[in-house]
Structure 1
């Protein structure tokens, strides 16, 4: 993991400066960032692979309590999936993540793009979201997952009752940041030893979710034991990867202030990003490592 951190450069020390720098490169976007909110079926090409993703426009437009943002496919997920599949992605070229890694995604939504892309690159992937999302998420994963990293999509296999079989190394788990006990959820899903990375893609879009999101990230990352001498270099340290579209500077700044209190934070350097995540794209990727004083 030393090689990975060496590539990141200097930590973020000034939240105001980071916010100003990012939003001066790219003005805040009024575009919500959905691929196509009205489509029931999306056909996408990601990292040379074709995906068919079912959406629920009706659910998205409903007044369901707790929100419906997970019912759509977001451009940030497409760009994150492209970057994770990129053959120069530093998480994999430095072996910070590898074929034996366990990854947990927060706020996965219905698309299943990230777990499908990483299915052949890691040992286990846990996609989490609120319970209302999970059936559509499972179906989209089962329809699009491949057993290898080739660009050819595996045809879905069905059980005798007509349901699609899930991918063997992808789990879907209900996790509500505001209401669920994170430790219990991890324990119930055989994750008492923690995970190698937490992914959060476009989970920062309003003030109300900032504290619960950061607290959930911190609780998951605190499971691993760390080295007191070199806390940011420990091989067991959980890496937190946060990708997001730059929309409202005030919301972003409050998230970063909150995240920075619990995590050491780096912005992913330009040269380590695929083209559609670079400066001016309107998207950004940050890396977090839980601060020593926050761990349990």
Structure 2
């Protein structure tokens, strides 16, 4: 991870994990935000929307309440969770971005001037003419972050378990154009960026990751790995942490956004990251904005190698 990406963040170590978790969960605003729901945007509808007025981004998404309410395994990714649109809005607020190149086709010369308080990595990794490569872990059926971020980078790979990706691809087709892809139908002959939607199961990640790394990232690690609300029980922690190590190199920035639910699971997760040799940095509340700071956390994670 680049040193300048860590400006104004606090490194979490074995010595201060407990204090860090206590501070997060003892905040009044976070307690009140988490007391209301599990974190679904709308678990009663198969349709959700995302909009960001300043950048002109408008996304219409389909989700599956039928899968969510079924007895099948791994159903949580079938619907949109609140931290994803909050994270998307935060990145758009932080970055210099054009209007989203959606099929609705509205054009604008709008640019957003980043605040001096923003993390330095955010405007570098997103924006017009950007050459960044991004891997998303746990994109879910809605594919919201892919729809928002893919037009702002050179290469974006959205990953999740196979049974969710049919709907993910449908949402991408509905909302985006001008992308090159081997996994998602595209009718554009003027590709401006590459966007793939591929299976990556954390419990059996190596073969899938090697395919992504070789065929999409040309043998390199991505510049950025994104994960939103991916840890909600202890069973997922070890395979997720091992996957983070697998898919990241020394220059990769990993951004993990989480809703704060159970402090013991959260502390176990942060501990597992550090024990695996990853470096963890907390983004302070004053850099996250009002919505993001109420009930959520954002950490940067770095993989300095073996």
Q: What TM-score does the superposition give when structure 1 sets the normalisation length?
A: 0.81
Cα displacement string for residues 105-133 of structure 1 (whole angstroms, at most 9, x for unaligned residues): 00000122211221222111100000011
2:65 paired with 1:57: yes
CA-to-aligned-CA distance 1:171-209 (integer Å, 9 cap, x gap): 101000012325423345333211001111000100000
Is residue 6–residue 281 contact of structure 2 (8 Å, CA) maintained in 1?
no
Alpha-carbon distance in structure 2 between the residues aligned to 1:253 and 1:30: 22
Q: State how 1:158-169 maps to structure 2 within 5 Å.
A: 165=187, 169=194
Q: Which one of 92, 117, 120 corresponds to residue 151 of structure 2?
A: 120
1: CA distance between counterparts of 2:145 and 2:256?
A: 13
Residue 16 of structure 1 is matched in structure 2 by 18
In 1, Cα distance between equivalents of 2:265 and 2:255: 18
Instruction: Classify the secondary structure of the residue corresponding to 1:90.
Output: coil
2:8 is paired with a residue whose SS is helix
Give 2:201's aligned residue: 176
Structure 1 segment 1-296 matched on structure 2, within 5 A: 1-8=2-9, 10-13=10-13, 14-25=16-27, 26-27=30-31, 29=35, 31-46=37-52, 48-65=56-73, 67-86=74-93, 87=95, 88=114, 89-92=118-121, 95=124, 99-145=130-176, 165=187, 169-181=194-206, 183-191=209-217, 192-221=219-248, 224=249, 226=250, 237-261=251-275, 262-278=277-293, 281-290=294-303, 292=304, 295-296=305-306
Shift of 1:214: 0.6
Change (3 A) 1:72 1:96: closer
Could you tell me whether the CA contact under 8 Å between 2:125 and 2:224 is conserved in 1?
no
SS in 2 for 1:34: coil
Unaligned runs of 5+ in 1: 149-162, 227-236
**How far is the alpha carbon of 1:51 from its aligned partner?**
1.7
Flag structure 2 segments of 5+ consecutive residues without an equivalent.
96-113, 180-184
CA contact (8 A) 2:6 2:119 kept: no
CA distance in 2, matches of 1:143, 1:205: 30
Q: Flag the 1:39–1:91 CA change in 2: closer, same or farther, 3 A.
A: farther
Q: Deviations over 1:116-166 (max 9, x none)?
A: 221222111100000011110011112122669xxxxxxxxxxxxxx7658
Deviations 1:211-237 (A, max 9, x none): 00011001111xx3x4xxxxxxxxxx1
Q: Number of residues paired by the alignment?
A: 262
C-alpha displacement of 1:38: 1.6
Structure 2: distance between partners of 1:120 and 1:265: 28
